[in-house]
Amino acid sequence: MKRLLIHLAAAMLLVTVLLFSACSGAEEPNIVFTGEVLEVYDKGFLLSTTELDGTDKVSIGYDKGMKPLDFNLLVGQTLQVTVLRQMRESYPVQATAVKVRLVQDVQQAPATAGESTVDELSRSVVPVKITPEEAKRMMDEESGVVILDVRTKEEFDAGHIKGAVLLPDTEVADKAAELLRDKDAPILIYCRTGRRSALAAKTLAGLGYTRIYDFGGIVDWPYETVKE
């Protein structure tokens, strides 16, 4: 009987140790806070916030597994950001976002007497740079996505992404309104190496298109292409 009690006590001790180890090894929860966008970068943004102890600004980059934003980042927007708990100490503090949600968009100031009503919001649209993998995910999961090939017709005929619309970069300014009627539709742009797609994305932003995603060149596209 005494030996049985000893075995039971040892078993209970082992269970306690295992439970403690599991709890201590659990991942710490992410941090969620809101703030206002001060600057927009190619791969992130600077946020002003009053919800964190010890800092008022956070430089935020994107986690590799984060889904592409479903809106265009603009200075002045209010965002709710979920970041990994491990922040890098600096000023501003550096953090990695796993989720970003738009809380309040930029408010357009009303025109005063004697001024024309200019859409300042469209002027401030910043094209979002994404990876080919993120672009493929948007193609598969989102409706109404426009895939825009801004290479030449000869390049397009030699091979392109299935479903792509051809609009050479030299014709974007003149023909975008004819081919891309919905200015709020998500537009995924590519060229051969990424230079022309970046220029075309900026042109579309200046024309008032609001959801512009540049995924670079077809040379980096890891999926199949077609000839039509």
Which active-site residues does the annotation give? Answer: 191
In the numeric block, which tokens belong to residue 78? 């209010």
